[in-house]
Amino acid sequence: MAPNDILQTLLSGEVPANVRSAVARGMAPLSPEDACRALVFLTNDTDREIAASARKTLSGMNEEEILSQLKSQSCDPSVLNYFGITSGSENILKAIITNPSAPGSLIESLALTLRPQLLATVLDNRVRILEHPGILRNIKLNPQTTQDIQRLVHEIETEFFGDKKTEYTVEQHSEKEQAPAAIPDLEFEIPPEDLSLDGLPVDDETRNAVLGEKLSTLSFRDKIRYALFGNREVRALLIRDTNKEISRMVLRSPKITEAEIESISAMRGVGDDILREIGNSKEFTKGYNVVHNLVRNPKTPPAISQRLIFRLRTQHLTLLTRDRSIPDAVRFNATRTLTQRSKQGSK
C-alpha cells in the first residue's frame, strides 16, 4: 500500500487494528506531515491502547519536528487543534497563532489563557479577528491581559466595529452574570457594484491609475470590504496590496471567479504568500491552467511548484526545462519528470 493510501484508508476507518497499532507507534512509511496527521487521528481511536500509543508517539516528537509541521500553511486543522490544546510551549503556541490556517475557533479558545506576549501576536491578525470577533471578548476575559493589550483591543474595536464595539475594559461580573455580552458579528455594508467606478476614465491605464489612487486613500476596514465585495477591477488592484491581509481577503471573496484565479496565478507582481495559498487550495488548483501558471511563475514558492509539476503535460514540461526564469530546482525536477515518463513509455 502506497504511503498516501495508508493515510486516506486510515481516515476512512477501514484499517485493521494491527496496522493502526503500527501507525500509532510511528512505524508506518509516511511523510512527516501525513504521519503527524495520522497520529492525531489515532488519539481518538476506539482502541484505548492504540490511542494511548499515538499520544505517546506524539509526546516523543522533539519541538523542532512539531514546529516544522505547525508553521506550514498546509498543516491540517486537526493537528493545529491537537497541539494548541495539549501543548504549553510558547514556541508551539506562537507557531499556531502565526499560522493563517489555524482555526479561528482554536485561537478564540486560546485567547482565554495566553500570556500577554502571545496575546499581542493574536491581535496582529486583523483578518482573523474580523472573522472571529469572539477573540476580542476572550482576550478581555483573560486574567493575564495587561493595560497595553486592553488599549490595543479598544483600538481594534473602534476601528472595525465602530458604534457596535463592546466595552473595552475587562468587566467584573456578578455570580448571576458570568458571561459578557458577545461582540456582534461585523456587518459589512456591501458596496454597490459600480460605487468605485463613477466618473473614471475609459482608457484602461488611466482608469487603473485613478482607481488605484482612490483605493490608496481607503482605511484598512474599507479595503477589506472592497476586497470581499468589490468588483473585478477593484479585486485586480487589491490583490497586489502591500498589506498581506488585504490581498488574502481577495481570495476569500464570494464573487471571485475561476478566470480571476487563473489570472492571479500568472501574475509576477503578487506576493509569494498569495501564490502559496492558491497552490495549497484544492479548489483553486482543480483547473489545469492554474497549475500550469503556478509552476511557470518564478514567484511561486518552489515547494508548491515541485508538488504540482507532475500534473503538467509533457509539452509544457519540455518548455520548463528551457525556462531560465524559474528556480533551478523546479527546472531540474521538470527534466527528471520528463525522463521518468520517457522510461515508463518505453516499457
pLDDT in tens, 320-333: 999 999 989 899 99
pLDDT in tens, 9-57: 888 877 888 988 998 998 888 888 899 999 999 988 888 899 999 999 9
For the cut 50, the answer to whether the pLDDT of residue 338 exceeds it is yes
Element (H, E) at 301: none
What pLDDT is stored for residue 54 in this prediction?
92
What pLDDT is stored for residue 113 in this prediction?
86
Q: Between 187 and 35, where is the model more confident?
A: 35
As a residue count, the chain comes to 347
Work out the average pLDDT over 176-202: 43
**What's the pLDDT band for 184 if we cut at 50, 70, 90?**
very low
Work out the average pLDDT over 310-324: 92
**What's the pLDDT band for 136 if we cut at 50, 70, 90?**
very high
pTM of the predicted protein model: 0.51
Rank 40-44, 203-207, 291-295 by mean pLDDT and report only the highest.
Answer: 291-295
Low-confidence winner among 114-128, 155-169, 218-232 (lowest mean pLDDT): 155-169
Provide, rounded to the nearest whole percent, the portion of the chain with pLDDT above 90.
37
What pLDDT is stored for residue 197 in this prediction?
55
Work out the average pLDDT over 299-314: 92
**What's the pLDDT band for 211 if we cut at 50, 70, 90?**
confident
